[in-house]
Amino acid sequence: MRYAMAIDTKKCVGCSDCVVACQTENNVPIGYARDWISETVVGIYPDLDLEIRSERCNHCINAPCVRTCPTGASHITEGGIIKVTPFECIGCGACIEACPYDARFFHPKGYVEKCTFCEHRVKNGQSTACASVCPTHCIYFGNIDDPNSEIAKIIAKRKYKVLAQEAGTKPQIFYLI
């Protein structure tokens, strides 16, 4: 089993609902965020292209954050979810430096935080908070190893890309393009 996410850049409007929903769901303190919106505009008026992406931890298969963590606080759990155990984290920052996506940050209490793929919801059979709030239904979440899952189907059907492929992290967030 492997959890993954596909995000349809053709539908995402960059409203940041996924950001607020994550904050209220996961008690992310104000001033911090586990997910964020990036916007890339290319071209010259009026020949323009805009790509909007909702970004977060990619739950990499080859996760450098886990490898560089000296205490094992950063670890891989069931379904390939990358998590941090707060009381094992010494706050050395190695994992933050190791992540090509800048997906991690220090919680004001000192330990490292990041997207958990809403493990606490997923294990109850719910979808992630961000996927279930998105007004454009552009986030697909599920077990990509199951060919009948929505995510496996959409990945099979649509063109997609991953971010910073050169980093060799095998990210598990797929951007449909």
Partner 1 sequence: MKTTRRDFIKISAMGAGGVMLSASPLLAWVPSFLKLKDDRPDDSKAKKYPNFCEVCFWNCAGWVYMDKDNKIRKIIGNDNDPHCNGRFCPRGTGGVGMYYDEDRLKTPLKRITENAKQKFVKISWDEAINIIANNMKEIKNKHGAESIALFHHGSSGKHFVNLFKAYGSKNIAVPAYAQCKAPREEAFKLTFGHALHSPEPLDIRDTKCLVLIGSHLGENMHNGQVQEMAEAIDKDATIITVDPRFSTVASKSKFWLPIKPATDIALLLSWINVIIENEFYDKEYVEKNTFGFDQLKNHVKNFTPEWAYGITTIKPEIIRRTAKEMANASPAVIVHPGRHVTWYGDDTQRLRAVAILNALLGSWGRRGGFFNPEKAKLPKYPIPAFPKPKWTWKDIVPGSYPLASSGVTNMLIHASQPDFHGKNKIKAWFVVGTNLIATIPDIEKTIKAVQNMEFVVAVDTMPAEITGYADIVLPECTYLERYDNIRSAQHREPNIALRVPATEPRWESKPGWWMCKKISEKLGLEKYFDYKDFSEVIDWQLKKIGSSLEEMKKIGVKKIGRKYDDLFFNDNETHEFNTPTGKIELYSTKLEKLGFDAMPKYKKHPEPEDGYYRLIYGRTPAHTFSRTTNNPNLIDLKKENDLWINPKVAKDWNIKNGQKIWLQNHQGKISEFPIKVRVTERIRWDSVFMAHGFGRTDKRLKRGYGAGISDSEMISDVKIDRETGSTGMRSNFVTFLTELQT
Partner 2 sequence: MREELITSGRMNPNIDPVLHIWHWQIPVYLFLGGLAAGLLFFAAYYTITGKEKKFQTAVKYAPIIAPIAIMLGLIALLLDLRHPAYFWQLYTTIRLESPMSWGAWILLLIMPVSIVWIASYIKEIFPKFDTEHNFIGKILKFIIEKKDTEEEVNWDWKIKFLKIFEKYTIEKRKALAWIMIVLSVILGVYTGILLSAFNARPLWNTSILGPLFLTSGLSTAAATIMLMTKDHRERMIFSRIDLLLIVIELFLITHLFMGFLAGSQAKIEAANLFLGGEFTVTFWVNVIILGLIIPAILEALELLKFKIPVILPVALILWGGIMFRFIMTEAGQITRFLY
C-alpha–C-alpha distance, residues 36 and 16, integer Å: 7
C-alpha–C-alpha distance, residues 33 and 55, integer Å: 11
Query: Would you say 106 or 160 has its CB closer to partner 2?
Result: 106
Q: Which of residues 71-90 bind ligand SF4 (CB under 6 A)?
A: 71, 73-74, 82, 84, 89-90
- Radius of gyration for the alpha carbons in the chain, expressed in angstroms and rounded: 16
53: Cα separation from own chain's centroid:
11
Window 122-141: contact mask with partner 2 (x via CB under 8 A): --------------------
40 binds ligand SF4 (CB under 6 A): no
Query: Which among ligand SF4, partner 1, partner 2, none contacts residue 158 (Cβ within 5 to 8 A by kind)?
Result: none
C-alpha–C-alpha distance, residues 155 and 60, integer Å: 17
Window 70-109: contact mask with partner 2 (x via CB under 8 A): xxxx------------xxxxxxxxx-xxxxxxx--xx--x
- Copy the structure tokens of residue 65: 């954050």
